[in-house]
Structure 1
Amino acid sequence: MSYPILNDCPVCHHELQVTRLECSHCHTVIENNFSLSKWFSFSEEQMHFIETFIVCRGNIKEVEKQLGISYPTVRGKLNDIIAKMTGNQELDIKEATHQKAEQKAAILEKLEQNELTAEEAIALLKEI
């Protein structure tokens, strides 16, 4: 029986290293420090998102429908994946700022179209 590769240490949560490979046929063993593809660093949930994103050919509206999540959530998940792939944590900060601006713009648009009262808009803006 085979198990999925663990990414993080269950004790201290740091990255685990692959140090042993074994042939299931002849039982040859190779020991060293091996690096895994970045794909192994993604969680199961992130891999599901990536698969859905690819099947939807990068169409964010379609990803929203398939996963039942909002546009800002899709963008946030995509940003997390990009940051993990590139090791760029600044991207997280920029994206969070961008998401807040999009949320504020959506609230103001609803207010302008009389879909929200001024009090409701103020309450929603305070939550952001």
Structure 2
Amino acid sequence: MNREAIGKCPVCNNDLEITELHCHYCDTTIKGHFNLCKFCKLDNEQKHFIEVFIKNRGNIKEIEKELGISYPTVRNKLENVIKALGYDAKYTPKVDKKEILAKLSSGEITAEEAVKLLKD
């Protein structure tokens, strides 16, 4: 049975490390201290979001459609993943008013979402 290794401790939520690797084919066992990859530390919801993001090639409109969420929610989920991967999530791009108005005009975002984005 294949089970995915968890990346966070279920008790204290700190990062876990792997201390033993085993090959079922040749019965080799390697003991030591091994770090999990960054993506292993994401929770299932974050992994699902990244899968949808990649599948849709980062097209926010398609991600909104597939997940049934708004543009600001997609951005928040992406910021959450960026932070979980250990990158600075405080990055705030300059507001491009023309881009926001174009998205509003094309129906990509609602008027409420446009107002929120313009206030950021």
Regarding TM over 0.5, the answer is yes
- One-letter amino acid matched to 2:46: Q
Question: How high is the sequence identity, in percent, across the aligned residues?
Answer: 44
- Residue of structure 2 in register with 1:22 after alignment: 22
Deviations 1:30-63 (A, max 9, x none): 0111122111111111111111111111110110
> How far off its partner does 1:67 sit?
0.4
Map of 1:37 onto structure 2? 37
Distance 1:58 1:15 in 2: 28
Q: TM-score w.r.t. structure 1 length?
A: 0.68
Equivalent residue number for residue 47 of structure 2: 47
- Larger of the two Rg values belongs to structure: 1
Counterpart residue identity of residue 86, structure 2: T
Aligned to 1:106: 115
- The AA in structure 1 aligned to 2:10 is P
Whose RCO is larger (CA < 8 A, sep 6+)?
Answer: 2
User: Structure 1 stretches of 5 or more lacking a match?
Assistant: 110-128
How many residues are treated as equivalent by the alignment?
Answer: 101
RMSD: 2.5
Structure in which a larger fraction of residues adopt helix: 1
Runs of 4+ in 1 over 4 A off after TM superposition: 102-105
Q: Provide the C-alpha distance between the structure 1 equivalents of 2:8 and 2:57, rounded to a whole number of angstroms.
A: 30
Matched to 2:115, the amino acid is A
